[in-house]
Amino acid sequence: MDANVRYRDFFHGMYTWISGLSDAENHGTLDEIHRFWAADARIVTCGQVKASGIEELRKHFGIYPQQYEEVEIREPFHTYLDSGDEVVIEYDILIRGRQHEGAADEGDAQRQEFRVIAIFSVTDGRISEMRQVTAVKAGDA
């Protein structure tokens, strides 16, 4: 196995799992959180801790069915660097919010696209930390 891509399949599976969380019919998906995330894992976005520990991760990912109609992590990734137990991935993510009762039909106004650079630490085959920065895509390629 090429040492430079040893976690590629793992991250493809993790992002496929995340993309499926917005499907309200997918009730059991949160139970799979342990497959990808360590019990004490953290998500840090733009310098702020968004989730720390499995219960906060559960809450973080638990909002997907309520808030998002669609979450799509685009592959192939723009950048994929695998060095030991550190992985850097640059990718685009498309998010479409759910229409709420009483909201005007906004069509694509609920659709947002972001560029993300994420640095992962992997411990014992699970993500122990995800540090990411995001920016709204504004017509860049």
C-alpha 139/C-alpha 141 separation (Å) is 7
- Which one-letter DSSP state was computed for residue 74? -
| Dihedral (Cα; 93, 77, 55, 85), 10-degree rounding | -160
Indicate the pTM of the whole model: 0.85
- What structural domains does the chain harbor? 3-136 (3.10.450.50)
One digit per residue, the tens of pLDDT, for the chain of length 141 reads 455 678 999 999 999 999 988 876 665 566 789 999 999 999 999 999 999 999 999 999 988 888 899 999 999 999 999 999 999 999 999 999 987 655 455 555 578 999 999 999 999 999 999 999 999 986 655
